[in-house]
Amino acid sequence: MPVMADGGRHEGRLVLADGQLVAVFTWVTPEETIGGQERAGGWFLEAGFGPCGDLMSARPPVLADLDEAVTWVRARLGTA
């Protein structure tokens, strides 16, 4: 699903748990990530809700692939 983020169109994924929206991830390139050396492009937590929203004030994660994103969400929900 296309997401308008940072003034551009990004590939996005909505994550649902029990029919409720818990996270929105967008694909970012290495040039769009902060910190450069820590991680290349990946899935950025654009928005989190409920247990996935706790980190929004801190530094949201950039995850390597969708499997890693699902694992991250499940860990936050306590269903890992």
Paired tokens of 52: 């996935």
Question: Looking at the predicted structure, is the pLDDT value of residue 36 above 60?
Answer: no
| Residue 80: band (very low, low, confident or very high) from pLDDT cuts 50, 70, 90 | low
CA 64 → CA 19, 25, 56, distances in Å? 25, 12, 19
Q: What is the pLDDT of residues 4-30, one digit of tens each?
A: 877 777 899 999 999 999 999 999 888
Residues 73 and 23: their CA atoms lie apart, in Å, by 8
Question: What per-residue confidence (pLDDT) applies to 35?
Answer: 57
Residues 54 and 28: their CA atoms lie apart, in Å, by 21
Question: Looking at the predicted structure, is the pLDDT value of residue 66 above 60?
Answer: yes
Q: What is the pTM of this model?
A: 0.81
